[in-house]
Structure 1
Amino acid sequence: MPFVNIKITREGSAPGRSAATAEEKAALIKGVSQLLLDVLGKPMDSTFVAIDEVELENWGWGGLPVPEYRKQQPSKQK
């Protein structure tokens, strides 16, 4: 019984809106389940998928909160 946990950030979303719509989340669940069937032969009816949305202030990168890490990075040239 596979269990897949997808974590997505809410960054870039409007206040009060999830990072992904219900339709987008359904597509993620279906796609991951299909991938496990195609690659590993795991039946879709025994695959569990959980999606966690993470607020920007609840994750870090390089030992720092993400906003602090980004302040230390050189700006990207367009």
Structure 2
Amino acid sequence: MNENNINISVNGEQKTVEKNKNLSEILTFLNIEKRMISIAVNSDFVPREQYKELIINEKDAIDILTPIAGG
């Protein structure tokens, strides 16, 4: 592993990303549309206004939740 990278989990799948990146940058890197999703990092919900403030660290677990239609 490159010393400038970290390993994280995204919906249970291992990913390697650059370190010192915020959640918004990670989502962009992973080509994830930010409009219609909710995010939890290490099981804690992250409000959308904090995406640019939250730095993702080695072994963090990101869970991306999308709305489900129906009822």
Would you say same fold, with TM above 0.5? no
Short-chain TM bin: under 0.3
TM-score, length-scaled by structure 2: 0.23
Indicate the structure with greater helix content: 1
Looking at CA atoms only, which structure, 1 or 2, has the larger radius of gyration? Answer: 1
